[in-house]
Chain A
């Protein structure tokens, strides 16, 4: 049976068919749907959301050591978080089978940087497979587990946004009946201390050689000889763009095994071509390797101005066609009409809006974090000063306060979501308490992991299956590490929230404000009625527009204009009513 599936769903299906028993991940676009799709196989696979990627990877590593096939899935920056166990699992090996699915985000649709995860394969000496479409996502996942078991190594499955989030056809097959491998205590293999690791490194280097030999003969790598003088070496989504652009007019070497690379195969392929292109998004990972073999090629590593391809963003078929066949340059595309940008915004009814309104009003420096609330940096709120990575709002503010002193700290807060706080904010807060800090940390507790599309977390009281789970008591957690001032406040009660923020930033000890109100998109969040402006009492002061609600806008009407609330967008949260100084906004 053939089914239309997202690349991510196909990876989940591949894991199911490969006999996987354990999946642990932390959500991150564009990788989230892999683990979400694992949930449907609950009779055969145990799935979970871990507090962060490092924990997820270690849990999967444990499952593999214990004899099961296990997987962990993350986005590119999540791989940074799990890098520590990854590098050492390369030494320990995979026993039952361990696959790390990592999704890069060329073009940064939903990410804070554009890193190329293929470097991790080389750095950790772990093989990496790279599928191009959903069919390959499933097949390569299964192949990854085979490799993992056969070569006793973790295996990376590298995806990118367009592979993860494109649907194409997948042939469904049965699940493999695999028993748990026996568990054996094996200190030289599984205890990585210097005496053992020294020996294991030798084994890793031997494995590298074997994998390099495998690269020459695996069907994951394929040559498509179309009798052309032009050759293209490519992989992943770039292969599909190249096929779209160049069709059968060139020869292809498609690298399904992105690391290690088949050196002889590359040499043979290059010998047959008069001109050789390397087409790959982001960094010149393949190109560097081809050049290291002494083979001239055209990619991005040529003298400035002569490069054909960019280090930046996503590629397109049109761009590839222009690079390879410039003489066929099509007419300039129809000029784009002028259209104002539509950047993402906090949703109507978003609880974070109240928080940022108050922080902006008080003129505070805001150390921000990763989540929907990063959008607090956009106009008109523009309330966020810095965003680095998951958890950094807390620890970075600690550094800021230490060098700029007490007065600066009285005007400084960290803002971090509930799930992000559990991910890696708590350690920053421990740093503050332990090292005599006096920061104020605002935890935006909206009862869910928002940006990635509503995943449960240790604070939500439910597991990945929606079953009741032990709920971490946020207030008690903060108190237990030594924060004596912990206040819970509703960010929509702006007056009180402002008072609390003023009070907590004024004191010279660590404090936590838990800004509590559920995400507006949660099904159980329902506000009565919708907000409307009463034209009789509205003084047109435009205060309500300062909160940046997408439902509230100013309409010219030839009579000086008026405020209008779009009834299809308003969810009736009433924040604007709390802001209006004249009580001119009413519920209908």
Chain B
């Protein structure tokens, strides 16, 4: 199998690290060689955060380069737009419809771009997920990451039961229930 590349992009604090860890453990379970690249430190303080997952027979670089991502899971609209050069032509983007103004927009130095979904659609197949709304209904807005994961899982070709097992292995014990609920809602979309 050729190496598959999944990019996860969002804003520091949105829970991208957990999502990429679930994906990494899933690829490992499938018997692939796996590389996951995370971001720690200063960018986690509300900056753009990009993590990568690559899996296949033998994976060398942990980094996804422009035009290489089969799938992008975007936790925020502007970050989806920023990551667009990385998606393969005809690849997939699963995007949370949440908008978080970056500081240059808040201070008035820049404008939050419009027509993001159209721009994404020109290059990739796009699924829009109201992840925050669903996470709120489930009872914890911090599970928006898992809602998004559920939405992606449905198209992954891997049985739901396996996803749930990996999810249980990866999230802290006391949050398993709410995360499963979030996953199910994302999966059902």
Taking Cβ atoms with an 8 Å cutoff, the residues of A that contact B are: 2, 4, 6, 29-30, 32-33, 109-110, 133, 162, 165-169, 240-241, 243-244, 316-318, 333-347, 372, 375, 378-380, 451-453, 545, 548, 550, 552-554, 566, 568-569
Contact = CB atoms under 8 A, between A and B. Distances in A.
Top 7 A-B pairs, shortest CB-CB distance: A110-B41, A29-B41, A344-B47, A340-B110, A342-B102, A244-B61, A166-B62
Contacts of A553: 101, 105-106
Given A340-B111, A553-B105, 19 more contacts: A4-B25, A4-B28, A33-B40, A109-B43, A162-B63, A166-B35, A166-B62, A167-B24, A167-B34, A168-B33, A168-B59, A168-B62, A244-B60, A337-B81, A340-B109, A346-B46, A347-B13, A451-B45, A545-B107
5 contacts: A29-B42, A165-B37, A317-B61, A337-B119, A548-B106
Q: Which of A32, A317, A344 has the most CB atoms of chain B within a 10 A radius of its CB?
A: A344
B78 A379 contact: no
Given A165-B40, A342-B79, A347-B46, A243 B60 contact: yes
Given A169-B33, A340-B113, A345-B47, A452 B78 contact: no
B106 to A, nearest CB: 5
Interface string B26-64: 001000011111111111111110000000000111110
Contacts of A372: 45
A339 to B, nearest CB: 4
A550 B132 contact: no
A144 B82 CA distance: 41
Interface of B: 11-13, 21, 24-25, 28, 33-48, 59-63, 65-67, 78-79, 81-82, 84-85, 89, 98, 100-113, 119, 123, 132, 141
A167 B85 contact: no
Contacts of B107: 379-380, 545, 548
Nearest to A241: B61
Contact of B104 (A243, A316, A338, A340): A340
Contacts of A452: 41
Given A240-B60, A372-B45, A166 B106 contact: no
B28 A341 contact: no
Contacts of B101: 550, 553, 566
Nearest to A239: B60
Given A316-B63, A334-B84, A344 B12 contact: yes
Given A167-B24, A167-B36, A548-B103, A333 B81 contact: no
Q: Which of B37, B60, B61, B105 has the most CB atoms of chain A within a 10 A radius of its CB?
A: B61
Contacts, number: 177
A33 B104 CA distance: 32
A554 B84 CA distance: 27
Q: Which of A6, A167, A318, A333 has the most CB atoms of chain B within a 10 A radius of its CB?
A: A167
B147 to A, nearest CB: 14
Given A244-B60, A316-B63, A378-B103, A346 B109 contact: no
A453 B45 CA distance: 10
A336 B113 contact: no
Given A339-B81, A451-B42, A545 B106 contact: yes
A342 B78 contact: yes
A553 B101 CA distance: 8
A411 to B, nearest CB: 25
Given A341-B102, A451-B41, A4 B24 contact: yes
